[in-house]
Amino acid sequence: MNTRHTVIDTATLGPVTIVATDAAVTGLYFRQHIRRPAQELFGPSVSFVGDTVLGEAVGQLLEYLLGQRRDFDLPLNPAGDDFRQQVWREVGAVPFGETTTYGRIAQRLGDRSAAYSVGRAMGANPLCIFIPCHRVIGANGSLTGYAGGLKRERVLLELEEPAAVSVGRLF
Q: Are 86 and 73 in contact (CB under 8 A)?
A: no
Residue type, 33: H
Instruction: Cite the active site residues.
Output: 133
Would you tell me how many other CB atoms lie within 10 Å of the CB of residue 69?
A: 15
Distances (CA, A) of 131 to 25, 40, 44, 84: 11, 23, 24, 12
Which residues, other chains included, contact 50 with Cβ-Cβ below 8 Å and sequence gap of 6+? none
Return the H-helix or E-strand segment holding 27: strand 24-30
Q: What is the DSSP letter of 127?
A: B
